[in-house]
Every structure is written in C-alpha cells, then in structure tokens.
Amino acid sequence: MHQKIRIGVLLLTFFVFHNLTYAQEHNEIEIQGKVVTIKKGIEEPIPYVKVKCASSDHVAITKEDGSFQIHLHELPDTLMIKAVGYELMAFVVEQEGKDVVVNLKDGSMLKGVTVFGRNLGKHIDLKDPFNVEKIGQDELRKAACCNLSESFETNASVDVNLTDAVSGAKKIQMLGLDGVYTQLQWENIPLIRGLSTSYGLSFTPGTWIESIQITKGTGSVVNGYESIAGMINLEVKKPSESERLYVNLYGNKFTRGEINVHGAQRINDKWSTMTFLHASNQFNETDVNKDGFKDMPVGFLGAAMHRWDFRGKNMESRFGIKGTFADKDGGQLGYNSSSDPTFPKWGASFKTTHLEAFGKMGIFMKNRPKGSLGIVNQLKYHQMNNVFGNSTYSGTQKKWYSNWIYSDIIGNTNHTYKTGASFILDDYSQTYNDSTFLKTEIVPGAFFEYTYKHLEKFTLVAGVRADYHNLFGTLFAPRLHAKWNPSKKSALRFSVGRGYRVPNPYSDFNSLMASSRTWIVDPNIVPEDGISSGVTFTQKFLIKDEVSTFSVDYFYTHFLNQLVTDLDVSPNEVHIYNTTGTSFSHAVQAELALKLTKTFEFRIAAKYYDVKAEFGGELQQKAFVPKYRVLLNSGYKTRNKKWEFDLTANWVGKKRLPSTASNPIKHARPDESVDYWVLNSQITYRMKKFSFYIGAENMLNVIQQNAIISADDPFGPYFDATQLWAPISGVNIYAGLHFDIKHKKK
C-alpha cells in the first residue's frame, strides 16, 4: 500500500512537469553540431564550412574544431552543408538536445551521413574523458546465456566468479577487488545496491541489455559517492529503437531453460512503450562432481518490465515498472524447502521478490539554450528469505532514490558544468537466525562537476560531492579525471578519486552462510573509504584499413578504511570488521585487440593483480584473487554474415585460499589453488528473422574436486561450501534461437 502511494506521487510529479514545459512556447531552437570527415576510421574536423538552414537565412561557419551552432525555427529542419572538395550535403535535424555530427565525404564520393552509435562489438572512445569501455550487441551475443553475470565473459576488465558451491550465483570483480566496490547502474539509475548486492546480477536478463559501459576507477560524482573500483552502466533496450517482437529461447544440458520475449510499440512521434518478459527454470538436479550436492539450485526466476518513453519538444521522459521473483532450492540432492523435517538434508533455499518503479526526465531550459535539468527517481522494494542448512536469513529493503542534475555552460561550450542534489532513503530490516537488525539510512547529498575542454585534445573533469549520512556523518568525495590526445589515434587518461560504501555484511557476504562458520560481526560497522587512481593509455592503429587497438592501464586503490571478511582466523569462523590497517590493490592490464581482416578478430589481454590487506597483524594476499589472468578471444564471421564463430579462453592463475590447516587432515585443503583454463565457444547461424546458436562452456571439463569441505557431514563443524576457486560442473552444451520482427524505418 505504502508503495502504491509513492508511485502515485512520482507519476504526479511527472505530469505536473509535463504540463509546465508544455505551457512554454519556443521560437528558436539552438542546434549544436560538428562537421567532420571520417578517413580510415579516424574522425577529422572540417573548419570554416558554411552550414545553412534550409527554411531560413541563418548561416553558421564551423570553428577550428569543426563545431558550429545554429538557430532553427522548428524541427525537423534541414541543414545544407557545403565545403570545398566535398559534396553538398543535406542533413535533417529531427531532434533537439542531441549534438549533430555531419560526416562529409570527399568530392569523388557522394553525400552520406554517419549515424553514430553503430553496433560495434566492443570499443573504447578516444574522446571521452572517462576511460569507458563499451560492450555492444555484437559482443553481448557472443555469450548467449543468460543474465548480466555472463555478459562480461568476453571482457577483460570485469572478472566473474561463482560465489559458492550452493547458490549458483556469480559475482564480479574489478581491479582484483570484490564486486561490492563496483557501482552498478542502468541508465544512471542504481541497479544493484543494498540487499540485492549478493544475487542481483541474475535479475537482469542478458537479452534486455542494449549495451554496457565499463569505467575503471571512480566514476562521475553525479552518480553518487560509491564506485571505488569501477562503475558499470547498462543501457536497456529502448522502446523507440527496439524490435516489434523479439523472442529468445535457450536450453542447456543441465536442463536449464530460458525464454525471453519483448516487444516495442511506437504509439506516435512522442510516445513509445516496451514490455519485457523473462522466465528461466532449472528443471532437474545435477551433480557432476558427485559430492551429493546440486551444482545449481533447482527452481524458477521470473522477471518483467514495462517502460514508457516520451519525447517532447522541450522535455523527454522515461518511466516504468520492473519486478523480479525467484524461488530456488540448492543443497543436497533431494532437498527442497518443503521436504520432510524428520530426515534432515542440508539444503539452501533462496526466495526473492524485487519490485521497482522508476522515472527519469530531462527538461531543456527555455532561457538557457544549453541548460537542461535531469531528474531521476526510483522506488524499490526488495525482500529475500534465504535458508542455509540451519541458518536463516531474511531481509527487506525499501528505498527511495532521487537525483536532480542541472547542466549548463559557462560562457562557451569549452566550459560546462553539472550540479545538483540527491536524496537516498534506505530502510533495512534484516534477520539472521535470532538476531534482528534494523537500520534506516537517510542520505541527502550535493555535487558539482566542472568540465574544461581545450581543442578536443584535452579534457579535464573536476568533481566534488558531499553527502550527509544520518548514521555516519559527512562523506566527502572529490574526483578528478583528465584526458589528453597526443595524436589523433591515441589517448592518455588519468583519474583519481575518493569513494565510499556503506556495507550490509549479512547480505553482501550472504553466500558465506553456506558453511558451518560462525559469524562474528563487529557491531560498529562504519563506511568503507577508498582512494583510487589510475592511468590508461590507448593507441589505435590500422591493419589493412581495419582499426585495431592497444591499451594498457594501471590502477592503484588504497583503502583508508575497509570492511574485512577474515576467513583466516579459524576454519569455522568468519570475522567481519572494519580496519584502518593497510589494504591496497595494484592492477595492471594490457590488451591488444586486432582486427586482422574484415572477418577475423583476435583479442588478448593479460592482467596482474596485487591485492593485499593486513589482517591478523599480517599483510596477506587477498584470498580467491589470482595474481595473473589471461583472456583470449577470437571471432570469425563469414563475409555474408550468416555464420559466426567465437572462441574465448580464460586462464586463471593460482589463488591464495583461506587456511584450513587446523582441520583434521580429511577436511584440510591446500593453501593455494592450481591454475586452470576455461574455454568457451559459440557458433551462430543467422537467417533473415531467425538466428540459431549452439555453444559449449568449460570445454576442457575443469572441475574443482572435493569443492565442498565435509560434504558428507553438512551439519558437522567442518562443512564449508564457500572455498570455491574453479568451476564445479563440467562441460556445458547449450543451444537456442533468436527471432525478431523489426519495426519499419521511416
């Protein structure tokens, strides 16, 4: 009930603003753009070109960097562009608020327009001051299964690991640091935060995702004080650009089945809407490693979303609702949450309900041609009930998130700024066995970010934000990002910034409950506080007219205060406490992406992580983080684009494991894991409306033997299903299809 009222209020705000902006009348629309020519994949600005408006006498001349500003009376309108040595070109401007990029062709060729945002598999933009890696549709389809956690499979910057041998959940790592230090958002709305941290990756089906942007180190202050190790933003498919109908089916050898259906409707020029449905089910119990435990929990996950887009003259809005429901049972074979209590089996059950309403709005200022106001609102309800053997955990989170961003220029477009305020209300209620934890967080905050651009070559972003946390006082986060292009094909970036995170140990490290370890949690938990800095160098070069990229980066993260989950004190205890002791991560990554021919791509990335923290008075390598990793990816596409072959290989080096030396010999494990390769491959065949895929995961059949300690006595003192460092189920074979009906282009 409570929830409904809030949604009502949200919609009300939306309509009020809607009317407000409609009451205003515009006489002139300022359009800003750039005239460029693209030579061998490199964009070059064309200065001193005449840009004429077709419906009036307005004329603009491009500046040295190719940029221009022109005033139009109404949209759509046409810009006529004529430059010596180039073809005359007509360019239709349909929409306000978007920078126009006009691509002129040499005189010998005819006119053309480059539509930006092409469907590139993976690329790094050289102009962005933030080092943003973009994963597009091509790349996402290389791993057909299943949800967000698999989307990073072919990406070197984000590592994905299984959390434990029971839940089947995966977690990410960036810079060798746990996924909790990476801020996850979708279209700049918080995605995984608070209680959804532990299992939230599986709530976003892969086919909903349009693209993913990955930033290493701290992100923009506009999005909050989090993001110490990195920031990941998803773009979900938009109603105005997506298929009329899309169906995806997936099935694998372990009897997992998935179905995705979504479709977009364009109601008129202004309104469009889209509905997403997802269901996945693990039908049968599987136990490849023969330890008596299910490798994957059996059960169901359903997700649905309905979203609306509105594009008006002076404002745009996106809003909708989203929900996820999951009910899964893991643990010993034969266990399900309704089984007979007189013959106890060790079982784990996971029940989650997640509901969300979101609204975004962008309003263009009437009196300030470059000014715009963005408002983001989100209401969230997250409830989960988890059982691990004799331990039970339940948690409820109610959340309201609001972020108001005003952006404008100072004088000219070389100086821009974003400023605004945010408000977070988080109401937590958690129960672990007999203890109940109640917490309400109220965090108002304000931010200011200034961007300076010099001749496209140099960009500096200086941001600062201050949040007042009702429980922990002021959190102050300054951040600086800079980019310099030494040449047209290279970019050097630098970033430094401070970030915080307020932990919820029982849910953040929920998977550690899959053990007999006693939880010893310091009652006075304070926010984690870290400083991350990094340098990135990217060089593009041409091989036979195809663009290849080499990049290398180094990031250093230093924690001023970190929450430590100490598994080394004793094999049957987990100690969770804050420490101001030394804790750092050095992460180096080098990546070479070669496009050797039109049809063949090859990528190799190597990573070195030195992640250490002081616990028990000793500086130790962080457990479960390998020092070295290698990723190889090759893709071949036939020239008619009908066949696509992909092969990905991941080499994972040795990892330090928490000490189990004090256990009886039978239950003791080595203090170090062995290195291994994981090989995945997929073949796709495309037809006009259908495409079929078949793939194999973990083709070398790597299985961590005896992954669960004391699997034969799960209620005993040595049981531990969290000492996981490699896959537990062997080769997986999957197959499926995509079907789509596209909208007709006008």
Give contact residues for other proteins (rule: CB under 8 A).
Answer: 54-56, 76-78, 80, 90, 92, 105, 109-115, 118, 598, 638-643, 645, 681, 683, 687-688, 696, 699-701, 731, 744-746
Minimum CB distance to other proteins, residue 444 (Å): 46
Minimal distance in Å, beta carbon 699 to other proteins?
Answer: 6
For other proteins, the closer of residues 4 and 118 by Cβ is: 118
Q: Which is nearer to other proteins, 38 or 606 (CB)?
A: 38
Q: Which H/E stretch holds residue 140?
A: helix 137-140
Give the nearer residue to other proteins in terms of CB position, either 472 or 645.
645
> How much of the chain is helix, strand and coil, in % rounded to 5?
10, 55, 35
Considering the complex, what minimum distance in angstroms separates the CB of residue 52 from other proteins?
11
Q: Please count the other Cβ atoms lying within 10 Å of the Cβ belonging to residue 241.
A: 14
> What is the Cα–Cα distance from 595 to 581, expressed in whole angstroms?
46
Rounded to a whole number of angstroms, the minimum distance from the CB of residue 238 to other proteins is 18
Q: Minimal distance in Å, beta carbon 454 to other proteins?
A: 31
d(CA 408, CA 480): 19
Question: What length does the chain have?
Answer: 746
Give the whole-angstrom CA distance, residue 162 versus residue 51. 56
In the chain, the largest separation of any two C-alpha atoms, in whole Å, equals 88
Q: CB of residue 678 vs other proteins: minimum separation in angstroms? A: 13
Report how far residue 730's alpha carbon sits from residue 725's, in angstroms, rounded to the nearest whole number. Answer: 14
Contact 172, 149 (CB under 8 A): yes
CA dihedral for 573, 193, 475, 212, sign (positive or negative) = positive
Vertex 589 angle, CA 585 and 592, to 5°: 175
Contact 419, 443 (CB under 8 A): no
Of 1 and 115, which CB lies nearer to other proteins in the complex structure?
115
Q: Which of 645, 652, 636, 662 is nearest to 720 (CA)?
A: 662
Instruction: Give whichever of 437 and 643 is closer to other proteins, judged by the CB atom.
Output: 643
Residue 378 identity: Q
Of 442, 526, 460, 533, which is closest to residue 495 (Cα–Cα)? Answer: 533
Min separation Cβ 33 and other proteins, Å: 17
Question: What is the smallest separation between the CB atom of 582 and other proteins, expressed in angstroms?
Answer: 42
* Closer to other proteins by Cβ: residue 510 or 680: 680
Q: Which residues pair with 276 in a beta bridge?
A: 262, 305
User: Looking at beta carbons only, is 459 or 684 nearer to other proteins?
Assistant: 684
Vertex 79, ends 73 and 81: CA angle to 5°? Answer: 150
Compute the distance between CA of residue 314 and CA of residue 312 in angstroms, rounded to an integer. Answer: 6
How many Cβ atoms are within 10 Å of 632's Cβ, its own excluded?
Answer: 17
Compare residues 570 and 681 and give the one whose CB is closer to other proteins.
681
Q: Is-contact 605 590, C-beta < 8 A? A: yes
Minimum distance from residue 531 beta carbon to other proteins (Å) = 43
Q: Output the smallest distance, CB 58 to other proteins, in A.
A: 12
Nearest Cα to Cα of residue 178 among 495, 498, 508, 475: 508
Structure tokens at 641: 């684009």
* Choice between 552 and 702, CB closer to other proteins: 702
Start-end of H helices in 428-512: 505-508
Cβ proximity to other proteins, 4 vs 745, nearer residue: 745
Nearer of residues 487 and 638 to other proteins, judged by Cβ: 638
Nearer to other proteins, 145 or 232 (CB): 145
Distance of alpha carbon 598 from alpha carbon 9, whole angstroms: 53
Distance (Å, whole) CA 545 – CA 178: 40
Tokens of 95: 């929409």
Taking the complex as a whole, how short is the minimal distance between the CB of residue 695 and other proteins, in angstroms? 11
Query: Does residue 717 have a cis peptide bond before it, meaning omega lies within 30 degrees of 0?
Result: no
Rounded CA-CA distance 341/338 in Å is 8
CB of 121 to other proteins, least distance (A): 16
Nearest Cα residue to 655 out of 725, 581, 717: 725
Cross-strand bridge partners of residue 103: 36
Element (H, E) at 6: helix 2-23
Nearest by Cα to 562 from 629, 513, 611, 626: 611
Nearer to other proteins, 544 or 688 (CB): 688
Kindly calculate the radius of gyration of the chain based on its CA atoms and give it in whole angstroms. 26
Least distance CB 679 / other proteins (angstroms)? 8
Tokens of 409: 């220029």
Of the pair 61, 90, the CB lying nearest other proteins is at: 90
Backbone phi, psi, residue 333, to 5°: -55, 135
Minimum CB distance to other proteins, residue 41 (Å): 11
Task: Give whichever of 4 and 641 is closer to other proteins, judged by the CB atom.
Answer: 641
Say how far apart CA 654 and CA 670 lie, in whole Å: 12
The 3-state DSSP class for residue 609 equals: strand
Shortest CB 488 distance to other proteins, Å: 18
First to last CA, the chain: 44
Q: For other proteins, give the closer residue by CB, 345 or 743.
A: 743
Which residue type, as a one-letter code, is found at position 440?
T
At closest approach, how far in Å is the CB of 242 from other proteins? 16
SS3 state of residue 456: coil
Closest distance of CB 529 from other proteins, Å: 47
Nearer to other proteins, 105 or 558 (CB): 105
